[in-house]
Amino acid sequence: MTQYLVLASSSPFRRMLMENAGLSFESHPAKIDERKIEATLGVSGPDQVALSLARAKALDVSSRFQDRLIIGSDQTMSLGSRVFHKPRSLAEARENLLALSSATHRLNSAVALVRNGEVVWEHVSYADLTVRELSGQFVDRYLARVGDKVLGSVGAYQLEGEGIQLFSRIDGDYFTILGLPMLPLLQQLRLLEAIDG
C-alpha cells in the first residue's frame, strides 16, 4: 500500500535525493523559526538540535496535510562544542572555513516521519569530515570561484562540487553529508509500507 509522501523542505539537494531514489512525493517547506526553536532547547547537543528541528518541520507541515506521511529533516554541524549555522556573508564563510582548517567536524543529519501530528519515527546519522590545512589565500581564491553558493551550506562548502578539494578524510555516507539519511529512511518507509518493499 503506497502512501502519499510530503517532504517538509525546499532544499534542492533533499528533493534530488528523493527523486533519484524513485520516490513519489510533494515538497512543501515548513514555516518555522529555527533559531527560536533552538533557543528553547537550552544545552542540547547538536544531534538533538537537528532532531528537534526535523521534528518541528514535519509537525508544521503535518498540520496542513491530513493522512499524509511527512518527512522532516535538518542538519547541524559541530566542531567540538561549537555549532555552526549557514554563513550570512562571504566574510563569515571565510572565518568558518579557517576555523575548520586542520580539524575534524561532525555533520548531524536528522530525519523524522510524522502522520496526523504524531511522530512515528525519527533518526540521526553522523558523518565526520576532516578539512586539510587551509591558508587564508587559498580560502580567498576558493570563495572567489564558488561565490554565494557557499551561503546555502552550513559548512560553506558543497561536497558535490569544488568543496571536495577542502578535505583530507571523510567518514560517513554521502546522503548524511547532503542532509537526508536515505538508507535508514527508505528502510523505515518500507517497514511502514509507504513504499514498495
Express the helix, strand and coil content of the chain in percent, nearest 5 each: 40, 25, 35
Catalytic one of 60, 74, 171, 173: 74
At residue 102, φ and ψ (nearest 5 deg) are: 60, 25
Active site residue 74: yes
Residue 147's SS3 state is helix
Beta strand extents in 68-191 (DSSP E only): 69-79, 82-84, 104-115, 118-131, 167-171
CA–CA separation, 8 and 31 (whole Å) = 9
**E-strand stretches of the chain:** 5-7, 25-27, 69-79, 82-84, 104-115, 118-131, 167-171
Give the β-pairing of 82-84 and 25-27. unpaired
Task: Enumerate the active-site residues.
Answer: 74
